[in-house]
Amino acid sequence: MFKNQFIPTLLFCLLQFFVTAQSVSPVVVTPGKTASTEMAAQHSATLTQALSGESDPMRIPQSRTSDAYSLRNCEADEVEDPLVEEIKEEKDELRQQEMATMRNVPNPFESNANAVSAITPILVSSFNATEVYSGNPPDNTMAISNGGYVITCVNSRVAVYNTSGANLGQWNLYDFFNYSGSGVVNDFFDPNVIYDPGADRFVFTCCVGRSAANSKICVAFSKTNNPSGGWWVYFFSGNPLNNNSWLDYPRIGVSTDEVFITGNLYNPNFSQAIIYQIPKTSGYNGAYINYGYWYNIAGSPFAVTPISSGTNTNYGPYFYLVAHNTGSGSATKLYKLTNTYASGAATLTYNSINTAAWQIGSNAYQSGTTQRLDVGDGRAISGFMANGLIHYVFHSSVSGSSYNRIHYHRLNPSSLSVSSFNIYSNGYDLCYPSVAWAGASTSTTDKGVIISFEYSNGSNFPSVGALNCDDAFGVSSWINCGVGTGNVTLTGNTTGVSRWGDYTGICRKRNSSPVRVWGGASFGNTSHQWTEKIFQLGLTNFGPGISTDRGDMVGADEALKAEVYPNPVNNGYFNVLLSNGTPGKVSVSIYDVAGKLQHNETFEGVYDNENNRISVKTDNLSDGLYYVHINADNKLVSNEKLVILR
């Protein structure tokens, strides 16, 4: 079924809103090749009460850097599926048998259980997102814009960084969405952020409230491509059917014309999935939003995942979504919205496509404690559309194994077929994967991807890894993006199960050349809680004049680091701040986008040794984009893009 709503701009802390809906005669949804028909309705709506108030947009509040980084148990009342928990218990019995027969657990960074045939990703840079700390569970989400703004969030906190890791602002979710008061409860959870390359804007959403009376879905549209420049914020009902439900597990996607938010309705157990279809231009302009939502969806999906474009161009007016069963299955549920809400001709088609069988595995083990990590369920977690194919990932085990692995699928929506590939390493749980397109910029058909994930076993602390799966399904060795320094014991006991997911984040920097993919996920820290790691990955060279040899670059977590600021440059110079050591000689080289050297300086014993800071003049450089290569003692420490504006 489909309904529409009409919602005005919510002027943060200034207005309340009223919505009305009116349905007319139902029509039959156009079915897919193997779909059952689904009834929908066309609707019209009018605003029954005009709202008054000032029209200034909500502004991001000032950074509150003195706030304590308190851990909030944002999902203490997790709704569990008894069937999923039963499967996990059965798999745990199998885990005991497997561990007893497994003498040596391989090091996945030396070899992989799959044939290693793809290029191993390179960790170009990384930093700890300490300003967001972590919620419970972390529910990592992140996005990066073409301009180099990074937004990342966990349950309870959100922060904005530049590509050098400099913090541009940080807030708890209550302050970000409510600030001086919008009449919502202080119960924000499940954040999601996405970058819209077609509009060069960000969209940020999360849930608030876990009862029919206070459940809402919060949606913020950035006013400009600078997330520090203000946001329009809306609150949509989390009980849109007025059936005593509340909304959980939201996911977000964008098309050429619209934003799609999906979620699960609970009453008190899982009732059904819902899809909000929202025209995005109104949101970016801070105007009234006339939107619709889909319910009573064919196939009874759980946790529907919107499939946005993975390239620098959105697709539309149609839009795809995928879903799975929770505990086990052998099919993918494919949905297609055939048109925009504004067209008045949108239909929702459904196809069930056979895949290899899977089943959720045992809860994960970790070093130094008997407390397990909750692996969640087998929902489709992350996906994108590129070159006519839907790429998506999830985790689960296969027959005869209790260990969770990455399932990477390529779905052809035209032929309604799926190519499946399992990525695993014996003795490790690989969970909460995210996937981004890593095809070469000069190729329009390369199907290669980078997949990031969280991993753990009885000999390792919870950590973050990544790998490359190329066009031909060749798999690379793993790399470590965030090494765990401690186990996670959030229950306060030495036994039981701690939350681990429910998501991680990954995003290709759409205009990067060579290819750069950014990710965000959490590792276990020495306080037995979570720390989020933001990391930048590459597959080809580091930029003009730099080889593919990993030995050319010092590991981002192992030795000297360099930060370039300010960026963009508008005052004739920039600084290089060095940390984790004092090298004998530092060389700064600046290349234009064609790879031609434009400026080079070598510093030896003449920079500020106390602060390890170098100042580099840019008076002789024209406005534009450049690559800055920083070498210390003949090792590449950092490669950053630099924008010069006057």
Q: What is the pLDDT of residue 540?
A: 60
Name the more confident of 198 and 179.
Answer: 198
**8-22, 367-381, 622-636 — which one is most confidently predicted on average?**
367-381
Q: What is the pLDDT of residue 115?
A: 55
Name the more confident of 133 and 507.
Answer: 507
Element (H, E) at 101: helix 82-101
Q: Which of 45-59, 296-310, 436-450, 569-583 has the lowest mean pLDDT?
A: 45-59
CA–CA distance, 43 with 46 (Å, rounded to integer) = 10
Kindly calculate the radius of gyration of the chain based on its CA atoms and give it in whole angstroms: 24
Tokens linked to 227: 């997330």
* Cα separations in angstroms, 25 against 3, 31, 47, 290: 12, 19, 20, 19
CA–CA distance, 403 with 350 (Å, rounded to integer) = 31
On the question of pLDDT at 215 being above 50, the answer is yes
Q: Is 264:250 a contact under the CB 8 Å cutoff? A: no
| pLDDT band, very low/low/confident/very high, at 83 (cuts 50, 70, 90) | confident
| pLDDT band, very low/low/confident/very high, at 103 (cuts 50, 70, 90) | low
On the question of pLDDT at 10 being above 70, the answer is no
Q: How many CB atoms lie within 10 A of CB 267?
A: 14
On the question of pLDDT at 77 being above 60, the answer is no
CA–CA distance, 373 with 111 (Å, rounded to integer) = 25
Q: What is the pLDDT of residue 518?
A: 97
* Cα separations in angstroms, 250 against 28, 262, 331, 412, 558: 27, 5, 22, 25, 37
| pLDDT band, very low/low/confident/very high, at 70 (cuts 50, 70, 90) | very low
* Model confidence pLDDT, tens digit, residues 318-361: 999 999 888 999 999 999 999 999 998 999 999 999 999 999 99
Q: What is the pLDDT of residue 300?
A: 94
8-26 burial by CB neighbour count: b if 16+ within 10 A, else e?
bbbbbebbebebeeeeeee
CA–CA distance, 312 with 189 (Å, rounded to integer) = 29
On the question of pLDDT at 37 being above 50, the answer is no
Unique residue bearing structure tokens 């850097």: 65
Mean pLDDT of 289-307: 94
DSSP state of 455: E
Q: CB neighbours of 32 closer than 8 A, spacing ≥ 6?
A: 334, 336, 349, 350, 351, 416
For the chain, percent of residues with pLDDT exceeding 70:
78
Look at phi and psi of residue 477 and say left if phi exceeds 0, alpha if psi is from -120 to 50, else beta: beta
Residue 526's nearest CA partner among 367, 363, 365, 364 is: 367
Q: What is the pLDDT of residue 326?
A: 87
Label each residue of 265-290 as H, E or C: EECCCEEEEEEEEEEHHHHHHCCCEE
DSSP letters for 31-100: P-TTPPP-EEEEEE---SS---S--PPB-PPPP-TTS------TTTTPPP-HHHHHHHHHHHHHHHHHHH
Q: What is the pLDDT of residue 245?
A: 96
CA–CA distance, 637 with 563 (Å, rounded to integer) = 10
Q: Which of 93-107, 203-217, 339-353, 552-566 has the lowest mean pLDDT?
A: 552-566
Q: Is 468:118 a contact under the CB 8 Å cutoff? A: yes
CA–CA distance, 306 with 251 (Å, rounded to integer) = 7
DSSP letters for 420-434: EEEE--TT-EEEEEE
* Model confidence pLDDT, tens digit, residues 365-381: 999 999 999 999 999 98
Unique residue bearing structure tokens 């759980």: 302
| pLDDT band, very low/low/confident/very high, at 594 (cuts 50, 70, 90) | low
Q: Is 35:350 a contact under the CB 8 Å cutoff? A: yes
3-state SS assignment for residue 369? coil
- CA dihedral (384, 389, 390, 396) positive or negative: negative
Unique residue bearing structure tokens 């970000």: 176
For the chain, percent of residues with pLDDT exceeding 90:
45
Name the more confident of 203 and 575.
Answer: 203
* Cα separations in angstroms, 223 against 309, 431, 559: 21, 35, 39
Q: What is the pLDDT of residue 137?
A: 84
Name the more confident of 13 and 442.
Answer: 442
Between strands 246-254 and 258-266, the pairing is: antiparallel
* Cα separations in angstroms, 60 against 154, 385, 387: 18, 31, 37
DSSP letters for 540-553: S-SSTT--S-GGGB
Give Cα 335 to chain centroid, integer Å.
Answer: 21
Q: What is the pLDDT of residue 330?
A: 94
CA–CA distance, 561 with 634 (Å, rounded to integer) = 14
Q: What is the pLDDT of residue 15?
A: 23
470-482 burial by CB neighbour count: b if 16+ within 10 A, else e?
beebbbbbbbbbb
Unique residue bearing structure tokens 């959980």: 248
Start-to-end CA distance of the chain, whole Å, equals 54
Q: Is 83:327 a contact under the CB 8 Å cutoff? A: yes
* Cα separations in angstroms, 50 against 47, 216, 234, 240, 440: 7, 21, 16, 21, 51
Between strands 39-44 and 302-309, the pairing is: unpaired
Q: What is the pLDDT of residue 104?
A: 56
On the question of pLDDT at 517 being above 90, the answer is yes
On the question of pLDDT at 481 being above 70, the answer is yes
On the question of pLDDT at 229 being above 60, the answer is yes
Taking the CA atoms of residue 64, residue 67, residue 72 and residue 74 in that order, the dihedral angle to the nearest 10 degrees is -10
Residue 159's nearest CA partner among 558, 625, 505 is: 505
Q: CB neighbours of 611 closer than 8 A, spacing ≥ 6?
A: 577
On the question of pLDDT at 63 being above 50, the answer is no
Mean pLDDT of 498-525: 92
Mean pLDDT of 61-79: 39
Tokens linked to 308: 């946005």
* Cα separations in angstroms, 327 against 374, 393, 423, 470, 503: 13, 15, 19, 29, 17
Mean pLDDT of 155-167: 88
Q: Is 602:589 a contact under the CB 8 Å cutoff? A: no
Question: What's the chain's average pLDDT?
Answer: 79
Mean pLDDT of 378-401: 94
Q: What is the pLDDT of residue 478?
A: 85
CA–CA distance, 497 with 74 (Å, rounded to integer) = 16
CA–CA distance, 497 with 374 (Å, rounded to integer) = 6
* Model confidence pLDDT, tens digit, residues 260-285: 999 999 998 999 999 999 999 999 99
3-state SS assignment for residue 176? helix
On the question of pLDDT at 499 being above 50, the answer is yes
Q: CB neighbours of 429 closer than 8 A, spacing ≥ 6?
A: 361, 362, 364, 365, 373, 375, 403, 404, 455, 456, 457
On the question of pLDDT at 589 being above 90, the answer is no
CA–CA distance, 564 with 638 (Å, rounded to integer) = 9
Tokens linked to 69: 């980084």
Q: What is the pLDDT of residue 22?
A: 23
